[in-house]
Chain A
Amino acid sequence: MSAVFVGMPSLPAYGIGNLHATESFPDAAHHELANDQMRTNLRHATHSIRDKRLKVVGELPDWEDLRSAGSATKEAAMADLPALLEQFEANFTARGGIIHWARDAEEANRIVASLVREQDTEEVVKVKSMATEEIGLNDHLAAEGIEAFETDLAELIVQLGHDKPSHILVPAIHKNRSEVREIFLREMPDVDPELTDDPRQLAMAARAHLRRKFLSAKVAISGANFALADTGTLGVVESEGNGRMCLTLPQTLITVMGIEKLLPQADDLEVFMQLLPRSSTGERMNPYTSFWTGVTEDDGPQNVHLVMVDNGRTAALSDRYGRSALHCIRCSACMNVCPVYERTGGHAYGSTYPGPIGAILSPLMTGIKAEENNSLPYASSLCGACFDACPVKINIPEILVHLRGEDVDSRRGKPRMPSEMDLMMKGAQWAFSSGTHLNLLEKALPLGRLAAGRDKKIKRLPGRLAGGWTASRDIPAPPKKSFRDWWASEHDAGDTGTTKDGK
């Protein structure tokens, strides 16, 4: 990066694991769009949560002040990250916690697996954690003969259904109650065969199923929402009590956390514990939050470990225009207001991190050149709703535009057949230099129509975007209307106004 830092790695160290799309966003979105059930459920979910959010946010006269404080706190934490990490480490360690550092997903998985094995057990209970999903921990543990039981109801549904989460807050929202019932009847050995599809009954079946596990587990694995540098404290925010079970009952607790979760001081909680629950579930406060600082004698786990993971976070940090993506507190508000997410669902983004934040965070962590993730920054109409909703004011549209520029740059100078994306970008490049011309992104869609023959089917697309795929089948030509045009025609001003916090 700079000649001053002689001997330091000059290339960003990108992340691995579940950060990569397995296919490009346009392709994935294409078949996810065909899933009507999912889209109906998702629309219901995103709209209900965002209505609740607007209501509880509207209750606070100082919401904008809290957002500004949250944004500045995160910016300060990132700018001072090495010192804060060392301060945190010293405090956490002084109270009996043990810290492990992991450069990437593989190293983190190895560390966790060996910590579990040390405890002589082949089972662990887990509380929902994005970081462990990102690094693919469950699969790694399974390969090592260790069974990980997800204990969050939605994660349990996803795990028992051999499925993938579709939303970071309500990961099983794509399943309706009768599907959940079928999964439980099929996968829970001692479930009551008379189980109905009443959500209360289903939740109680999960309670019964997991209770024995909680009471007997030797090892729990968690993530963390916050790490407080000045005290060495970790915190987990949750609803069901499965978090408290995991954080309290087993003798060994292993927490896996990205290095960006640091907050400078404990008092910062007065800001973030107002911002997070209201933005996330739309509640004034989530039912349960637990904080722990190393080991407390006679109370809770006596072996307390923390694995601090990079896995591409430093790569994101090295991008001065993109690094604020690391401020994300994973509330999911940006997803719930995103018109693209609402239609494609979380699966289309491939990565653990879906929606608007995923569209910037995944390519920042893997590098824009990473296979298929380069299409993610285009998964947006740049309408700005995500920015307005974000409790820490991450300017997602601006970073999307920045990453589109990076993507175009990364392709420049490489002599090869132009891809569809190149063709689109050629026309659109100048548009991104000016906010007034952003419409042009969708105006590039007609290029796809040009590529289609008279029968309105694209027989063959050049380039890597869809080339291999269209070789075997036809895809329908893009719609005549661009997304933005369609959106404008479908929505009156009053409707879109609801995404602006009602202000």
Chain B
Amino acid sequence: MMITKSLRVVFFALLAILFALTVFPLITPVWRLVLNWPVFSVIVDAVNLTSAVQTITMSALSLLLGLFIALPLSWLLVCTDLSQKNTFRNILFFPFVLPPYLYAIAWATLAVPGVGLLNRWLGNIFNVYSLWGLAWVLACSYLPVLLSSICHALESMDPSLEEAARVFGASRAKAFFKIVLPCIFPAIASSSLLFLLAAISAFDIPALIGIPARYYVLTTRIYTYAKMGGLFGIDQAFALSTTLLLSAGLFLFLNEVIRKRFQQRLLSGKVPRRSVVHLRRLRIPLLCLAVFACFILVVLPLGAIITSSFLRLAGKISLDNFTFENYRYLFSMPETSRALTNSLMCAAISAFFCTVIGFGVSYFKDRTSLRFRNLCLRLATFPYAVPGTVLALALIVSYGSGWGVEQIALLGSPLLLLIAYCSKYLALSVQALTPALSSVDPVLEESARVCGAGPWKTIRRILVPILRPVLVSVFILTAMPVLSELTMSVLLAGPGTETIGMLLFQLQDYANPLAACSLAVLLLIFLLCTVPLINRMLQGERM
């Protein structure tokens, strides 16, 4: 399409914004470290080495748990004649929209030694404050990553590959292990890498479950350095977090290698499955198993949060222990209304900017041949893979202190939070908008141009109206994680700029776990409202 001068100006403005959001904050602290290299010795500190090992142990263990659950479940959901498959799927995929710390809170109320609900019912057998507890909670909350990818791979695998093996003499088991598993291996490997990336970057679950267990991982260690105060602590924290940054880079690199190496295995498109495995006698037992999985993975944790929010004393379910006191306490605190306002405002503002900037990035990528359009896309998407802890520290170093000028020191101001959220979640909007934009035929715009509309008018009158349902759902999609964000908020926010996530963290951590549950219920209601909204929008788009 014809590039006008004003379009070019906007493009370079966009590039400048992206630099400010992503490149500058990451370059500055690295430069500081180079000048200040002895601080790197923090990495080989004995406690930190232990934490590194513990990070790896925790992530690997939770990946194993996750695969152990996800592989059979996705087989059951895709390849068999299990009834109510779609219901199961909707339930099991629901945690996608939940912030992981909800699971930490839930399992804390369920399996704290002594007063955990499960421990009350089944005898004191679980202790969530342990390595296994930590790995389990991580596995539960990131399970949808594995589940969705493996289900998708099984669905898009040509079923005649498996059928051919059967006809040529392979038993069902042999066909599965020799044909199906190798064919879906790339999906398993790449979702495992994403899972590991999420696990090593996770701060909330290790903080809420790991710290009480005295199980420190890199993110929680970095947090303690950062909270030590002063720039020295921040420098040490950032030095330590370079390890996370490098591992994130390594995972993404490996992911790319796998994608290239196994590209040809991913070729087949979506093929209708002509025959499913008839479970026959196993039908009822496996149905029970699927119900049990939904119960343990989704219903029980969410139920525990809701129930606990109405309890006077933790762990005791009875009528005389029922109370609204937790909600009353919650709303009596001045922080609560501040946190709700802050989070909602931040979510709305950053979602707005993410949608606008994301639209710009995808527009220039798809509709123009400007020189740096691919760079633009990369800048917009890569911070999503940067662990939240690292990104927050980088922003503190580059924007927090104001370089000696008090007036532009942003630490503790809402602006810094907004920058962090936009930088992190811009990728979500770009990834949703780019395919949507390329599915709109450029002829529609070209004909508007021929009719005499300028590029801006074309965008405003043609493109935006066509894409409106997508734009609205992208807005919600980016607002949701911001609303419940915790990892970056705890480092960036200060008194007066509390967020929902931060308040939840403080309540759960020391003040009042039951009030944390009631705040979690409020958050849950917000998030639940958005799901049908998104579904409606996307359906509207298809029509």
Q: Do A and B bind each other?
A: no
Report which A residues bind B (CB closer than 8 A).
Answer: none
Report which B residues bind A (CB closer than 8 A).
Answer: none
